[in-house]
Amino acid sequence: ELRFGREYSSAVERKQVAQQEAERARFLVDKAIQDKRSIVIKAQGEAKSAELIGKAIQDNPGFVELRRIDAAKEVSTTLSRSANRMFLSADGLMIGLVA
């Protein structure tokens, strides 16, 4: 039966651990690079969105009203699906009802 010395076996084990740690470090670096790219792309998208919304508001003042109506529809849909009962003041809804 062939056996390696303790020092040799220990050195092989340390090498394997070092390789695993290096691989994990490479993974963490790659992940950090991907996260950075993702953040940059998201920020660029948000900047473009803000630019387009600003242009839409400038070109068409009714755009803000349309966005307000869309937001109100989303809120009303959420409330209508709720099992809870809710009473809202017409004043707080900003829908311009005349009493």
- Rounded to two decimals, the pTM is 0.51
> Residues 11-51: pLDDT tens digits?
999 999 999 999 999 999 999 999 999 999 999 999 999 99
Per-residue H/E/C for 72-86: HHHHHHHHHHCCCCC
What is the per-residue pLDDT for 99? Answer: 47
Question: Smallest Cα–Cα separation from 93: which of 78, 76, 82, 57?
Answer: 76
Q: What is the pLDDT of residues 57-96, one digit of tens each?
A: 888 878 888 888 888 898 888 888 888 777 666 666 665 5
Distance CA 47, CA 4 (A): 63
